[in-house]
Amino acid sequence: MTAAAVEKRTSKRKKPPSLTRERIRSEALKLIDAEGLEAFSTRKLGAALGCEAMAIYWYYPSKEALLDAVVDELMSRVGRVAAPEATDWVEALREIARAYRGLAHKHPNAFPLIATRRFATEGTFAFLERLFELAQRQGIDDRTTARFFRAVSAYCSGIALNELAARGEEADREVRARFKRVSSVSRWLEPAHFDDLFEFGLGVLLDALARSVR
Amino acid sequence: MTAAAVEKRTSKRKKPPSLTRERIRSEALKLIDAEGLEAFSTRKLGAALGCEAMAIYWYYPSKEALLDAVVDELMSRVGRVAAPEATDWVEALREIARAYRGLAHKHPNAFPLIATRRFATEGTFAFLERLFELAQRQGIDDRTTARFFRAVSAYCSGIALNELAARGEEADREVRARFKRVSSVSRWLEPAHFDDLFEFGLGVLLDALARSVR
DNA sequence: ACCTGAACACCGTTCAAGT
DNA sequence: ACCTGAACACCGTTCAAGT
């Protein structure tokens, strides 16, 4: 497309908006990733977008609504990464659990948003719909689906939050040293064992699911 | 004690401070319970205590440190409620899990603090020390102790956060209605089933623990 | 030792105004 | 329709000063 054609196009539709909901949302996530949730503000986001902070309010009614949109995008990603298609429900749940925890590692600053916010946006529902469809095709009743889904998702949220909170816990090492048994057991709770700890609890839950499906 | 005696006492020690770490901490919790975490500020806390906001900084280095102290108090309470003395470790863990979830219901506004903050204060350690001592007396090795402790505590954090986030989720009912399977499974995820869902997942984890102990 | 008060560098959001 | 700019009512924290 020539420069003239572009010119003609853009001059026809009076002028395209420089902001979009998507651009704001993804810039918000980038800022949160870079500087943390506490440091994130609509004013800084405005600066990053090259506009006044108030311009954002034309696209989102509040900062809270914008954060919901960020969560929605991240949750949709979990759904895409772990497409529950060919496998059985136990394995689909395992993949999703891993992808969900992976999200916590990829976006440590944004993850607390997901874990504390209500799990009820468009993108989240779309993803759950496919997951629950698969359960039905496997002949798993709704109650069992609900129970294991809740157990696994709660477990993953908790584990991930725990892992994130453990960053910089070395500072507490001296106070912990005064508690003999805590020190002893804590050896197994260190970051080096995070993968093992996660898979262990997940295995316990999914083994029970596998037994109850058969 | 007569008024004169009181007068003599207080005049001897030049003047007792009107603030203490404990008074500030418990007033902070009261404010968070009443108005929520977002609305909580050092300035409002100052007003509630009858002093300038800045007076708090003589007792705590920052708002963050004060919130850590609030978490510490709440965690110590869980330890006291569920005194792991006479029972075996499986049942001790079950009681603690219930007490921990109970905390979320008693202090819904403060609970996210506990779940997202590092689990490493004086009061928390004192409580864990007793819990891990009990595990040792039962002959449970440190690795198994660590694995199940982590699994159960992560599960409880996640479940509790989930339950709190579900408050006011009725607003999302219309969007959920467009997803057939989500609607169907969600019937079992409603507040009426929260107790059942919690006990179900907890049971799965603790049954596995009971098996591995024997 | 314990607390005040002014000040600094921020917030989210409303609202009238610009283009 | 889309964005600006001033304004309002807040924040956490520093620091000098008071008692």
Please report, in tens digits, the pLDDT of each residue of chain A (214 residues total).
333 333 333 444 456 778 999 999 999 999 999 999 999 999 999 999 999 999 999 999 999 999 999 999 999 998 887 666 667 999 999 999 999 999 999 999 999 999 998 878 889 999 999 999 999 999 999 999 999 999 999 999 999 999 999 886 666 778 888 999 999 999 999 999 999 999 999 999 999 999 999 8
CA atoms within 13 A on the CB side of B150: 32
Least confident of A11-20, B17-26, B32-41, B67-76: A11-20
Mean model confidence pLDDT for chain B: 90
pLDDT band at B83 (very low <50, low <70, confident <90, very high): low
The answer, yes or no, to whether residue B46 has pLDDT greater than 60, is yes
Quick one: pLDDT at residue A17? 77
> Which of A138-147, B13-22, B77-86, B101-110 is least confident?
B77-86
pLDDT reported for residue A8: 36
CA distance from start to end of chain A? 60
Tell me, what's the pLDDT at B148?
A: 98
Torsion angle defined by CA atoms of residues A63, A69, A74 and A77, in that order, rounded to the nearest 10 degrees: -170
A129 vs B143, B182, B208: nearest CB = B182
Q: Which nucleotides of D are covered by protein (CB under 7 A)?
A: 1-6, 10-16
∠ Cα A26 A99 B158 (to 5°): 95
Q: What per-residue confidence (pLDDT) applies to B8?
A: 35
Nearest chain A Cα distance for residue B96, angstroms = 16
* pLDDT on residue A170: 67
Q: What are phi and psi of B37, to 5 degrees?
A: -70, -40
pTM: 0.91
* Chain A residues near residue B147 by CB distance under 8 angstroms: 188, 197, 200-201
Integer Cα distance of A131 and A80 in angstroms? 11
A87: helix, strand or coil: coil
Contact status, residue A122 vs residue B130, Cβ threshold 8 Å:
no
Contact B170, B112 (CB under 8 A): no
Q: What is the pLDDT of residue A12?
A: 43
Nearest residue of chain A to residue B130 (CA atoms): A181
DSSP label of B74: H
Residues in chain A closer than 8 A to B201 (CB atoms): 147, 150-151, 154-155, 205
Residue in A155, A161, A185 nearest the CB of B142: A185
Please enumerate in sequence order all residues whose Cβ is within 8 A of that of B119, keeping only pairs 6 or more positions apart, or say none. Answer: A162, A165, B75, B153
Identity (one letter) of the amino acid at B3?
Answer: A
Separation CA A46–CA B26 (nearest Å): 38
Instruction: Return the residue of B nearest to A120 by Cα.
Output: B172
Q: What is the 8-class DSSP label of residue B214?
A: -
Mutation target to probe the B interface, by most B beta carbons within 10 A, among A141, A155, A194 is A155
The pLDDT value recorded for residue A10 is 40
Is any atom of strand D within 7 angstroms of residue B53's beta carbon?
A: yes
A75 CB neighbours in chain B (<8 A) are: none
Per the structure block, which two tokens stand in for A66?
């914008």
Best residue in B179, B180, B186, B195 to probe A by mutation, most A CBs within 10 Å? B179
CA A43 / C1′ C8 distance in Å: 18
Establish whether the CB of B40 is closer than 7 Å to any nucleic acid atom in strand D: yes
pLDDT of residue A46: 98
pLDDT value of residue B2: 33
Tokens of A208: 């029970």
Weakest-pLDDT range from A82-96, B47-61, B114-128, B174-188: A82-96
**What separation, in Å, do the N-terminal and C-terminal C-alpha atoms of chain B show?**
60
